[in-house]
Chain A
Amino acid sequence: MAEITPGDVLKAAAQAVPVDCLANIIVIGSLAAGYHFFGENRDMQIRTKDVDCVLNPRVEAMNVGKNIAESLLQAGWEPKFADGMSGPGTAETPDEKLPAIRLFPPESKSWFIELLTVPETEDQRGREWTRVVLPIGHFGIPTFSFLSFTAYHPHDTPHGIRYARPEMMALANLLEHPEIKPAAIGELFEGRKIKRSNKDLGRVLAIARLSHDSDLQLWPGKWEEALQECFPSQCRQLRKAAGSGLRALIASEVDLEQAVWACNNGLLASKPVTMEQLEFTARRLLQDVLEPFEAGEI
Chain B
Amino acid sequence: MSKLKRQRFDYAKDNVVGVVKSHLRALAPLHSTFLEIAAYLAAHESALGFVLIVDPGVSEARLQQEWQTIVQTIRQDIAQRMSLFKYEKEAYQGWPQDPEPQVRIHLDAALNALPAVIRTTQLPRPDYYSIILKILIQHCLTRTPPAPLTARLIGELAGCSFPTVKSALDRLNHLLRKAPGGGIELKRFPAEEWQALILGADRVRATKRYQDRSGKPRSPAFLIERLAGLQRENVAVGGVTAALDFYPELDLVGSPRLDLCIHAPGRYADLSFIEELDPALQESSDPEAPVYLALHFVRSKESFFTEFANGLKRAGVVECLMDLYEMRLPDQANDWMNALLKHERES
Residues of A within 8 A of B (CB): 209, 213-214, 247, 250-253, 273-274, 276-277, 280-281, 283-284, 287
Contact = CB atoms under 8 A, between A and B. Distances in A.
B289 interface: no
Interface string B86-105: 00000000000000011011
Contacts of A250: 101
Given A280-B279, A284-B280, A214 B214 contact: no
B329 to A, nearest CB: 26
B247 interface: no
A209 B279 CA distance: 14
Contacts of B280: 280-281, 283-284
Interface string B189-221: 000000000000000000000000111101100
Given A213-B222, A214-B222, A287-B279, A281 B214 contact: yes
A213 B216 CA distance: 10
Contacts of B104: 251
Interface of B: 101-102, 104-105, 213-216, 218-219, 222, 275-276, 278-280
A250 B101 CA distance: 8
B213 A280 contact: yes
B279 A251 contact: no
Contacts of B279: 280, 283-284, 287
A277 B101 contact: no
Nearest to A209: B216
Given A251-B105, A281-B216, 8 more contacts: A213-B218, A213-B219, A213-B222, A251-B104, A273-B215, A276-B213, A277-B215, A283-B279
B183 to A, nearest CB: 48
A284 B278 CA distance: 7
A276 B218 CA distance: 16
A287 B279 CA distance: 8
Nearest to B215: A277
19 contacts: A213-B218, A213-B219, A213-B222, A251-B102, A251-B104, A251-B105, A252-B101, A252-B102, A253-B101, A273-B215, A274-B215, A280-B213, A281-B280, A283-B280, A284-B214, A284-B278, A284-B279, A287-B275, A287-B279
B286 to A, nearest CB: 15
Contacts of B275: 287
A247 B222 CA distance: 25
B214 A277 contact: yes
Nearest to B102: A251
A88 B293 CA distance: 59
Contact of A251 (B101, B216, B222): B101
